[in-house]
Structure 1
Amino acid sequence: MRYQNVIFDLDDTLLDFQAGENKGLQQVLTHYHFPDLHQAAAVYRKINLSKWERIEQGEAKEPLLVERFSDLFARYGMPDEGVQAEKRYRRCLNENYAVMTGALALLQQLKQAHVNLFAGTNGFDFTQRNRLNHTGFAPYFTDIFVSESVGYEKPSPHFFETILNQYPNMTTANTVMVGDRLQSDIRGAGAVHLDSIWLNQQHQTNTTPYHPTYEVADLAQIGSLVTAKNGDL
Structure 2
Amino acid sequence: MQFDTTQGALDVTLTDLIVAGWTGRDRAAVDHHIEELAALGVAPPSQVPLYYRCGPELLVQSDRIDVLGPDTSGEAEPLLIRADGKTWLGLGSDQTDRALEAHSVAHSKQVCPKPVAAALWDFDEVADHLDRIELASEIFENGAWVVYQSGTLASIRPLADLAQGGGLADGGAMLCGTLGAKGGVRPAERFRMRLTDPVLGREIATEYAIRVLPVMA
Q: Flag whether TM exceeds 0.5 (same fold).
A: no
Question: Normalising by the residue count of structure 1, what TM-score does the alignment of the two structures yield?
Answer: 0.27
Task: Report the structure number with the largest CA radius of gyration.
Answer: 1
- Structure with greater proportional strand content: 2
Q: Greater helix percent: which structure? A: 1
